[in-house]
Amino acid sequence: MSVAALLTRSWRRVSGCWAPGAGIRRLSSIADPEIKVCVLGSGPAGFYTAQHLLKHHKSTVVDIYEKLPIPFGLVRFGVAPDHPEVKNVINVFTQTAHLSRCSFYGNVTVGKDVSIEELKQAYHVLVLSYGAETNRILGIPGENLPGVYSGRAFVGWYNGLPENRNLNPDLSSETAVIVGHGNVALDLARILLSPIDLLKKTDITANSLEAIENSKVKRVIIVGRRGPLQVAFTIKELREMIKLPGTRSLLDPNDFEGLRHVVKDLPRPRKRLMELLIKTALESNAGKEAEFQAAATKEWSLRFQRSPLEIIPSNDGERVGGIRLSVTKLKGSAESAVAIQTEDVEDLECGLVLSSIGYKSHPIDPSVPFDQQQGVIPNKLGRVLHAPGMYCSGWVKRGPAGVIATTMNDSFETAESVLEDVQSGILDVSALKGGYKVIEALLKQRGICPVSFSGWEKIDSSEVTKGEKVGKPREKLLTVKEMLEVANQ
Ligand code: FAD
Ligand code: NAP
């Protein structure tokens, strides 16, 4: 009996999500030939796709390739240091990595150390889960002035991403402007304004902790091109800003007058978010709240309907001195309203600008289709269009939006497409494939030393030990060289 015929499944979609273990009949597979799957990228998308395939098809063998010596993508390099609970997903990924049919090969950049064509020869299935590694740019004059950083680089800096370890942001001025009204913007504001004693207990890197301790920033203005009804951040992150010790929220009542009547008809999450914004902006504080506000030495605010036109240089022309914004008007309604620039401008004086307008994926190899306009690999339910045997999941599949749970759902959807194609016979898995053995020989010729999961566990334990000495969950290694040294001990 063929592998395809043995694969009997009955997945069910429940409210757009995969119900755990929903009616799946396990496959007997002892005599099956292996289906060799190669996953590119070890962030949530890579691990969740691997998990689903390994759980629901006992003949799959999954090799996860990762460009860094360490796994977990944005869970390590994106999620804010003061959100340790979010990082608990690492425990689930670790269980997957420990399965005998799963291997991790870090320090291998696909597209550079090994080509897609070589991987296609070695595996039956390729899953592209390599995320979004760059950021959108504003495309305005002055964007490259010292003192202007992408939010992505700033996040990478405080989270220990090797390429950003030397960012050394200039935090010597009192006012910072963040462009973008997403959750990354709120992460940036919170890290800039958090009391240092809170940050000291997190896994923020030692050098950024020191820089933030000496930072002069005490005012953060978060600028968005649309209005309160169109903000992209969520209520939990807003609440954290409002409750940030030592920091007052300055929301302009004029931005919220007249919105009360709209709120009642909004879908629940946005309704609750709006209610909190309106309450913060319009209701006068009394008692403990008033004391909290009065004692605050730092502040943050939201500026609406302002689109960046230009970064204004400082008087000596050496660095950022401010930002020029176009006042916008909104065309259309609710979340789909579009910001149109008007003739009116506003200048904000500041010494730091963080542009937090979203991440961006890029093509990995000319042989993989890529939609430059949308910044995604064109796909149908994770099947890469016109590329049999290739699948994609995560941010490179659907764009740089969505939390880990969203990424989990779309990764399960992709894994499901793979399993369906095996079952229907669309995916030919009859040929014997060499898998990692073939790639290992190529990497050896090229002088590349992959890091195994146990290599990562040595790095992990070294970081945790270093962290314990200073009361932190871990002290991250900051260079690939150090990571390789520890992994190869
Ligand atoms: P990634 O996590 O980016 O993983 C991609 C992986 O591919 C990386 O490890 C990368 O190194 C690797 N890779 C790239 N190129 C190659 C290559 N050529 N060869 C081999 N490997 C390669 N979600 C939450 O639920 N809670 C949060 O608190 C939260 N905070 C966030 C904070 C920030 C700053 C950001 C940007 C996102 C945050 N998210 C959060 C969203 C969450 O991180 C994403 O939904 C998720 O990480 C996307 O997963 P991914 O696997 O597609 O991409
Ligand atoms: P995002 O949610 O897409 O927000 C991007 C913001 O930038 C939007 O306000 C957008 O405004 C604005 N923007 C885009 N282009 C612009 C331009 N040219 N000029 C001015 N403004 C522009 O992206 P993100 O903040 O990078 O977050 C990415 C994903 O990660 C999101 O899904 C987020 O929820 C998730 N994340 C979650 C957490 C968490 O759960 N704690 C933390 C961080 C990130 P428009 O709406 O007008 O386009």
Distance CA 60, CA 182 (A): 38
Q: What spacing in Å lies between the alpha carbon of 400 and ligand 2's midpoint?
A: 9
pLDDT band at 32 (very low <50, low <70, confident <90, very high): low
Q: What percent of the chain has pLDDT over 90?
A: 88
Long-range CB pairs of 430-434, under 8 A, 24+ apart, other chains included: 430/2, 430/33, 431/124, 432/33, 433/34, 433/36, 433/121, 433/122, 433/123, 433/124, 434/121, 434/122
Q: What spacing in Å lies between the alpha carbon of 13 and ligand 1's midpoint?
A: 25
Residue 200, burial from CB neighbour count under 10 angstroms (0-12, 13-18, 19+): middle
- Ligand 1: which of 74, 158, 408 to mutate, most ligand atoms within 8 Å of CB? 74
- In this structure, which residue's CA is closest to atom 8 in ligand 1? 73
Same domain, 340 and 367: no
Same domain, 201 and 350: yes
Residue 365 has pLDDT above 60, yes or no: yes
Instruction: Write out pLDDT tens, residues 158-207.
Output: 999 999 999 999 999 999 999 999 999 999 999 999 999 999 999 999 99
- In this structure, which residue's CA is closest to atom 39 in ligand 1? 403
Same domain, 249 and 286: yes
**CA of residue 436 relative to chain centroid, distance:** 28
Instruction: Write out pLDDT tens, residues 264-273.
Output: 889 999 999 9
Instruction: Write out pLDDT tens, residues 389-412.
Output: 999 999 999 999 999 999 999 999
- Asked if 449 and 108 count as a contact pair (C-beta separation under 8 A), the reply is no
Q: What is the mean pLDDT of residues 453-479?
A: 98
- Asked if 377 and 368 count as a contact pair (C-beta separation under 8 A), the reply is yes
Q: What spacing in Å lies between the alpha carbon of 386 and ligand 2's midpoint?
A: 31
- Residue 334: the pLDDT is 85
Which protein residues touch ligand 2 with a CB less than 6 Å away? Answer: 136, 138, 179-185, 187, 224-226, 230, 232, 237, 307-308, 339, 356-359, 400-403
Q: What spacing in Å lies between the alpha carbon of 407 and ligand 1's midpoint?
A: 9
Distance CA 52, CA 48 (A): 6
- In this structure, which residue's CA is closest to atom 9 in ligand 2? 181
Same domain, 8 and 86: yes
Residue at a domain's end among 336, 359, 382: 359
Domain count of the chain?
2
The dihedral of CA 156, 157, 159, 163: what is its sign? positive
Q: What is the mean pLDDT of residues 130-159?
A: 97
Looking from the CA of 284 toward its CB, the CA atoms found within 13 Å total 1
Same domain, 373 and 431: yes
Contacts with 196 (C-beta within 8 Å, 6 or more apart), sequence order? 209, 212, 213
- In this structure, which residue's CA is closest to atom 14 in ligand 2? 357
Q: With respect to residue 216, please indicate whether it lies within any of the assigned structural domains.
A: yes
Q: With respect to residue 57, please indicate whether it lies within any of the assigned structural domains.
A: yes
- Residue 19: the pLDDT is 36
Q: Which tokens sit at 296?
A: 């605050």
User: Domain range for residue 104?
Assistant: 3-133+361-451
Return mean pLDDT, the chain. Answer: 93
Q: With respect to residue 456, please indicate whether it lies within any of the assigned structural domains.
A: no
Instruction: Give the C-alpha distances (Å, rounded to integers) separating 216 from 82, 134, 161.
Output: 21, 28, 24
Q: Which tokens sit at 267?
A: 């879908």
Q: What spacing in Å lies between the alpha carbon of 47 and ligand 1's midpoint?
A: 11
Minimum-distance ligand 1 atom for the alpha carbon of 407: 45
- Residue 333: the pLDDT is 85
- In this structure, which residue's CA is closest to atom 18 in ligand 2? 138
- Asked if 320 and 147 count as a contact pair (C-beta separation under 8 A), the reply is yes
The dihedral of CA 298, 302, 306, 310: what is its sign? positive
Residue 284 has pLDDT above 90, yes or no: no
Residue 33 has pLDDT above 90, yes or no: no
Instruction: Write out pLDDT tens, residues 4-23.
Output: 333 223 333 333 333 333 33
Which protein residues touch ligand 1 with a CB less than 6 Å away? Answer: 40-46, 65-68, 73-74, 78-79, 83, 86, 109-111, 129-131, 133, 155, 184, 187, 359, 364, 394-395, 402-404, 407
Nearest ligand (C-alpha, residue 104): 1
Minimum-distance ligand 1 atom for the alpha carbon of 402: 45
- Asked if 339 and 307 count as a contact pair (C-beta separation under 8 A), the reply is yes
H-assigned helices in 259-311: 260-263, 268-282, 287-295
What is the reported pTM?
Answer: 0.94
Nearest ligand (C-alpha, residue 398): 1
- In this structure, which residue's CA is closest to atom 26 in ligand 1? 403
- Residue 165: the pLDDT is 97
Q: With respect to residue 195, please indicate whether it lies within any of the assigned structural domains.
A: yes
Distance CA 2, CA 61 (A): 17
Higher pLDDT, residue 66 or 265: 66
Q: How many CB atoms lie within 10 A of CB 306?
A: 25
Q: What spacing in Å lies between the alpha carbon of 482 and ligand 2's midpoint?
A: 33
Instruction: Write out pLDDT tens, residues 286-304.
Output: 777 778 778 899 999 999 9
- In this structure, which residue's CA is closest to atom 53 in ligand 1? 131
Same domain, 328 and 433: no
Residue at a domain's end among 344, 359, 374: 359
Same domain, 119 and 161: no
Distance CA 431, CA 267 (A): 51
Contacts with 104 (C-beta within 8 Å, 6 or more apart), sequence order? 42, 63, 64, 66, 71, 97, 451, 452, 453, 456
Residue at a domain's end among 359, 385, 404: 359
- Residue 24: the pLDDT is 35
Same domain, 316 and 175: yes
Q: With respect to residue 465, please indicate whether it lies within any of the assigned structural domains.
A: no
Q: What spacing in Å lies between the alpha carbon of 381 and ligand 1's midpoint?
A: 20
- Asked if 40 and 439 count as a contact pair (C-beta separation under 8 A), the reply is no
Contacts with 464 (C-beta within 8 Å, 6 or more apart), sequence order? 473, 474
Same domain, 164 and 302: yes
Q: Of the candidates 64, 6, 65, which has an alpha carbon nearest to the alpha carbon of residue 33?
A: 6
Dmax (CA) for the chain in angstroms is: 77
Angle of the 235-242 helix axis to the 268-282 helix axis, nearest 10: 20
- Asked if 9 and 24 count as a contact pair (C-beta separation under 8 A), the reply is yes
CATH of the domain at 80: 3.40.50.720
Q: Which tokens sit at 281?
A: 């902006």
Q: What is the mean pLDDT of residues 223-236?
A: 98
pLDDT band at 258 (very low <50, low <70, confident <90, very high): confident
Q: With respect to residue 298, please indicate whether it lies within any of the assigned structural domains.
A: yes
- In this structure, which residue's CA is closest to atom 31 in ligand 2? 401
Same domain, 388 and 439: yes
